[in-house]
Every structure is written in structure tokens, then in C-alpha cells.
Amino acid sequence: MNKSAKKGISLLLATSVLASPFVLVPNAAHALTVEEVSADDTGVDEQTEYTIEFEIDKELKAGGTITVKFPSGYEVDKNLKKKDVTLEDDYGDKIAIYSVDATKTTVDIEVDEKIKKGTTLVLTIDKVTNPDEKGSYSIGVKTSAENTFKNEKISIGKSSSSSSSSGKFGVSLSNKDTGAATSLTLGKISLASKTKLKEGKYIYVNFPTKDMLPKSISKSDVRVNGEKVDYLSILSNNTVRIEIPSRVDGDNYIDVEFSKSAGIVNPSKADKYYTFIIEYDDKEYKSKDVEVTGSSSSSSSFSVGMSDYKAGARASYTFDLELSERLYSNTDIQIDFPTADMVPPVLSAYNVTVNGDQVSNLSTSGSRVSFRTPSGFKTTDSVTIRFTQDAYITNPRTAGFYNITAKVDGKTYRSKDFQITGAAAPTPVTVDNSLATIGLTRATASTPAGLQIGIKGLGVSIPRAQGFVEVVLPVGFRAPAYLPANTVTVNGVAANYVGVRGQNLIIYPSQDIPAQTAVQVNIAETAGIVNPATAGVYSIGVYTSEEKGLLFARPTTIVALNGVSFKVDVASFTKSGKTTALAVAPYTVNGNTLIPTTFYRDALGFQITYTKTTAKVVSGSTVMNFKVGSNVATINGQNVTLPAAVQLKNNIPTLPLKTIADRTGYKIIYVNGNYTVYK
């Protein structure tokens, strides 16, 4: 039987549940809901795969667990592995699993990423053995964020097979060539006795092969009993799940139609015995055998040309398509690559062409690249789409056979299989970034600032001009639309390329960086990053393209604009956006910063008097007297030992910053020669 829900969550609920601060409310307001429990085989004493669909009502953080409890009589393989368990959301996106632990009747799944409350999850668990007695059994589900198990029943030992009144239902294809795009009609299927369609329940259409389905299907391309559907999704097991529309409620038959623009293609291999299975209300209906013949003579299969076929390599991609209809200017095109990590977070339209013309309106989302043909594009039905080497498309990281889907003006074309060669991606090594650092060269609000990022080590190597470091700036920071590569260095070498995606900076190094190597990323103030206008503490995160999840994050303090910034060995300071010269540049002696006496007057507003031998600094009720050449000062009548002796530079005494800041309530932010003094 199939693996999904009795009743789906509405799109409104799925899109309105956003990450927000957790608020404690009475337990009655929170309840995990089990939508459906199903098994591939409901026979007694059969080992099978179970699918449980449920909605969580509390956020589950990374490291949280999902527990499935089977009743007495069941037996779960104690050697259950991660590969035997999959977890997806209701839209088919996989959710990472960190570990799986099984006992005879219980499975604990630790998740490796945060799952928002209100998410509907589809969990599959293989190697579960049914009880050896017929009956109705309740299977429970809970998470570490929920208080109690919620249960759903399943019947074991009861036959779920049925067929239409004519034995097997018919299948109509508009094209029977292998790999060809086709329309598809399934039915008419007479339902089992007393069975009727019910609004909100689901029909499952199981396709003979996985390569028949596109990544998504528009609901406008599917009809049930002649009526357009309101909701459908593609599951991971070659199945399309269709919610029954209200207009066919009460019908005692099923007739499903997929238009050609749905993007369904025939299997890639010829065969006389392909079959479809439709499931509804715990009953299965099997089609007559369907024949797919010969090689496709249609233009739906296209070749993929690449500059490099090695796993993980950066490559140019070229597609030559023969379209079923002519292509015009300002027409939408979507390219779906096999994996999301092939597509860089930032992709320029300069590096994508159609028949040699630069595309327009380019955007990326996961594995998909969307764009339009440019204005003035010459009408044609023969198209060459090219992603240049500088588009930073990278090959899948695992060797194998892959294909690419192109959707041109709503019509879907699928590539021939192409082979990626080479070894699988390396396993990450353990690194400790607890002492990794992130600092701003200036900490004052609304001020241009550079960043200095010290990564202690990488778990996986970053290949030059292929992998990247991603710096995630929180909301409030401003990043320019373009960062010149020469304003960013990685281990002292100018970056190969720097992209900007909203608040995120995508930095491609110009050299290979091996695993476990320390990395220093410096972004100059001239890059154009501007601090938030509001003072406060902001967290900056660091990721890499080669490792899953956050590498590390560090808080940075933004102070009010009247804070004072200066640099060692630079004879000036900046306050409220204005730079003022100093007669003597700040400098360090044995790690202690000395600043000319005039700085405390002009930058901090203290009262000062000085000669070539003495200096007096007054701030409120605090009076500090210093002598040139002495490491002892008198502060409010008491002798205090200084970290460094007072020196005379350019006829002006220079005084230790830390001593004066500590005595007057000022704080100091220091990042690699850059200081901000604030109160």
C-alpha cells in the first residue's frame, strides 16, 4: 500500500507557519497529528516497509528525535540503519537524519536539521515484520518536543487488492516512443462495492518507472473524472498523490488524465509489460499491460555537452534542443539540474546564453535555474542553451548516470543520461572551530566595515574556483550588489570570484584549501559592506559548500555612531562619520596601546592639559596625572601602575588607552589592529 496521508495540510497552513520565538502555552493547544499509517505489504508475518505521515505542532530542533512505537506482535530489525529510513516533508524535500536506533518494537530517529512546527512529515521505515495474527493494530508516533504518542490503526492480514469491473483498467498514451513526452489517461476504473470518492481523500497513481515523472506537475495539467484538481504532489516512490476535488465527491469511478504539458515522459527502455497501479481507500487497481516501443523520434530527449565529466568538477554545460513549438523572445525557460549542490547560490545572467544571446530575468532556487529569452530573440524551434565555465556549475559529487530536465514555455524536455566519472565525495573529518573568530574592522553603526574571519579548520577540502565559503550577514547589514574579487582575500590571495545573494557573501578561493587547514578570509572596507544602523549584538554565520550545516557563528557588537574608531599606526580617528587627524598615530608597546593626549580631548571630550613632561586628564570626578617616562600615574590621589610607561612623541605625551578607558567607563572593541572605543 502507499505511503502518505489520508488528509493533507492546506497550502495556507504550510506557508504561514514561520520560524518565531517559542512561547509556552497549555499542552492542549499542541498535538502531533498522525495523518496515515500504511505498509507496502499488510500480510501477516511479512517483512515490509512502513510509511507514516504526521504533522508536528511544535518545532523540532536539530538533534531532536522522532519515535515510532509498534505494538506487541511486531518486530523491528535491531540492525536498522540510516539507509533503511527516509524522512521528507509533504512536498518531497528530504530532511537529514543524523542517527537511527531500533529496539524490537521502537525506532528512534535523530534529525540533523530544524523542522518548523506545522510541518507535515512522511517517514518510511524498512525491515519491519508484521504480526503473525490478523487484526487491527495501533502504531504510535511522538517527537522529543511532544508530550505523548499519537496513534493510527492499520489492518494486518486483510486483502487490499481489488480491480475494476472489467478486471484491469485501460491506459491511453498519446505517444508510445521511449523517452517521449506524452499525455496519459488512466481508466475508467469502477470502484469496489459501496466505495465512493470523498472530497479531501487521496488517489495515488503509481508509475511503472521513476524516470517518467518530472520534478513537479502543475495542478492545471491533471483532471479527475473531468474536473481540475486542487492539490497534488509527487512522492519519492514513483507516485503522484492527487487530492479528490469537491466536484467529484460521491462518484463511484476514477478516470485520471494528465495533459502533455504535465511533463510526463515514457520509460527510457522499450517493453510490452508496463503497468500502472491506482490506489484509493486501501484498495489497489491494476492497469492492463502497456507497450512502449522503440527509440523516441521526438525532440524531448536532448544531449548534454560538458567541458569536464569528473565528479565534483566545475564545468560548462551545453544543451541542444529540438522544440515541439517555436520559441520567441521573453519566453520562460527552466533548467532542473540533478542535484541542488550543482547550482551556485549566485549565478549571473552574463554566463547563460540561448542561441548565443544573453538571457534575462535569471534566478535560482535549489537545483533549478529560471530565466527568459531576451527581447529581440530570433524565433526558432532549434535551441542551444549554454552555461559557461564562469557560471560555476559543478558536477554531481558522486559518480553515476544523471539527466537534466528543461521546461520551455511550459513544455518539458528531458535529456539523455550522461555519465559522471570519478570517486565519491570525501567523508568529512572532525575539526574544532570553537576558537574560530569573526571581527569587524569598525564597530560603529551605519559605518562601512571590513570583516576578518578566522576558520580554525575545514572538515572537507575546498577546491579552487569550485567550492566556496559563504558568510551570512544578519538583517541590518547592507551588502552591495557586487563585490570586486580583489577586495576579498582567502589566506592572503585575492578571491577567484565573489557573489552576493541578499545578505550572503559567496567567496570562491583561487587556491585549493585542504581539509583541516586554517582559513583566513579578509574582506576590505572598500568592499562596501555597511554596519546596521541600530546598535546591538548581531550574529554572523560561516558555511562552506563542501560541508553540511553551519560551520560556526560569532556575535559582533555594533555600537552607536558616536563611538570612536581608529587604527594602530594611522594618525586619525573617525567619529560620527567624520575623520579627524591626530598629531601622533596610535601605536603599541609590548601589546599595550598608547594614544596621544589630544585624542582624549578631541575624540572623547575629556579635559586635558599637558607639557613635554606631564599630562593631566579629567573626566567628570576622575582626575588622572601622568609623567613622561614613568609607569606610575596618580588617579584621584592614588598611585596606579601602568601597563606601559608614558612616552613623548612629537612633543605630545602618549598615554595607555586601557587604563584611561577602564577608569572612565569606556569599552574597547579590538580586531586585528582596528579599535572602537564606546560607552
What per-residue confidence (pLDDT) applies to 70?
95
Query: CA-CA distance, 302 to 403, in Å (whole number)?
Result: 10
Query: CA-CA distance, 403 to 425, in Å (whole number)?
Result: 19
Distances (CA, A) of 205 to 41, 54, 219, 463: 17, 21, 14, 43
The pTM of the whole model exceeds 0.95? no
Q: Check whether residue 549 and residue 451 sit in a common domain.
A: yes
Q: Check whether residue 320 and residue 415 sit in a common domain.
A: yes
Cis peptide before 188 (omega within 30 of 0): yes
Q: What is the torsion angle, in degrees rounded to the nearest 10, for the CA atoms of residue 17, residue 23, residue 26 and residue 30? A: 20
End-to-end CA distance of the chain: 67
Q: What is the torsion angle, in degrees rounded to the nearest 10, for the CA atoms of residue 30, residue 36, residue 40 and residue 46? A: 70
Q: Check whether residue 49 and residue 137 sit in a common domain.
A: yes
Yes or no: say if 391 and 352 are a contact pair by the CB < 8 Å rule. yes
Q: How is residue 652 written as a grid cell?
A: 605630545
Name residues whose C-beta falls within 8 Å of residue 31's C-beta, 6 or more positions apart in sequence.
57, 146, 150
Nearest Cα residue to 533 out of 415, 468, 449: 449
In a domain, 27, yes or no: no
H/E segment holding residue 660: helix 657-664
Where on the phi/psi map is residue 418: left (φ > 0), alpha (ψ -120 to 50), or beta?
beta
* Sequential DSSP letters for 588-608: EETTEEEEEHHHHHHTT--EE
Looking at 558, 586, 619, the residue that finishes a domain is: 558
- The enclosing domain of 89 has a CATH number of 2.60.40.740
Q: How is residue 555 written as a grid cell?
A: 556575535
Q: Check whether residue 362 and residue 322 sit in a common domain.
A: yes
Q: Check whether residue 567 and residue 527 sit in a common domain.
A: no
Yes or no: say if 118 and 56 are a contact pair by the CB < 8 Å rule. yes
Distances (CA, A) of 569 to 31, 302, 597, 601, 651: 62, 62, 16, 19, 17
Q: How is residue 82 written as a grid cell?
A: 540510516
Contacts 24+ apart (CB under 8 A), 561-564: 561/444, 561/445, 561/446, 561/447, 562/444, 562/678, 563/443, 563/444, 563/676, 563/677, 563/678, 564/603, 564/604, 564/676, 564/677, 564/678
Q: Check whether residue 47 and residue 114 sit in a common domain.
A: yes
Q: Check whether residue 611 and residue 594 sit in a common domain.
A: yes
Q: Check whether residue 554 and residue 568 sit in a common domain.
A: no
Q: Check whether residue 288 and residue 333 sit in a common domain.
A: no
In a domain, 19, yes or no: no
In a domain, 59, yes or no: yes
In a domain, 21, yes or no: no
Residue type, 527: A
- The enclosing domain of 605 has a CATH number of 3.30.457.10
What per-residue confidence (pLDDT) applies to 25?
34
227-228/222-224 β-pairing: antiparallel
- The enclosing domain of 463 has a CATH number of 2.60.40.1510
What sign does the CA torsion over 356, 357, 358, 360 have? negative
Q: What is the torsion angle, in degrees rounded to the nearest 10, for the CA atoms of residue 95, residue 97, residue 101 and residue 105? A: 10
- Residue carrying C-alpha cell 568592499: 527
Q: 492-510, pLDDT tens digit by residue?
A: 999 999 988 888 899 999 9
H/E segment holding residue 12: helix 11-16
Nearest Cα residue to 472 out of 516, 519, 521, 431: 521
Q: Check whether residue 463 and residue 487 sit in a common domain.
A: yes
Query: CA-CA distance, 215 to 209, in Å (whole number)?
Result: 14
Looking at 395, 420, 445, the residue that finishes a domain is: 420
Backbone dihedral angles phi then psi of residue 589, each to the nearest 5 degrees: -130, 115
**What number of other Cβ atoms are within 10 A of residue 20's Cβ?**
9
Query: CA-CA distance, 606 to 137, in Å (whole number)?
Result: 80
Residue type, 240: V
Q: What is the torsion angle, in degrees rounded to the nearest 10, for the CA atoms of residue 26, residue 29, residue 31 and residue 33? A: 180
DSSP, collapsed to helix, strand or coil, labels residue 549 as coil
What total of structural domains would you count in the chain?
5
In a domain, 20, yes or no: no
Residue type, 498: V
Q: Check whether residue 283 and residue 179 sit in a common domain.
A: yes
What per-residue confidence (pLDDT) applies to 6?
34
In a domain, 594, yes or no: yes
Looking at 558, 583, 605, the residue that finishes a domain is: 558
Residues pairing with 256 in the sheet: 186, 224
CB-based burial, 438-452: b 16+ in 10 Å, e otherwise = bbbbbbbbbbbbbbb
Q: 87-97, pLDDT tens digit by residue?
A: 988 666 789 99
What per-residue confidence (pLDDT) applies to 40?
75
What per-residue confidence (pLDDT) applies to 237?
67
Please give the DSSP secondary-structure letter assigned to residue 664.
Answer: H
- The enclosing domain of 351 has a CATH number of 2.60.40
Q: Check whether residue 288 and residue 178 sit in a common domain.
A: yes
User: In the chain, which stretches have pLDDT less than 50?
Assistant: 1, 3-29, 160-166, 296-299
Please give the DSSP secondary-structure letter assigned to residue 379.
Answer: P
Nearest Cα residue to 647 out of 639, 655, 658: 655
In a domain, 428, yes or no: no
In a domain, 632, yes or no: yes
585: domain range?
A: 563-678
What per-residue confidence (pLDDT) applies to 424?
56
Yes or no: say if 53 and 119 are a contact pair by the CB < 8 Å rule. no
Yes or no: say if 298 and 272 are a contact pair by the CB < 8 Å rule. no
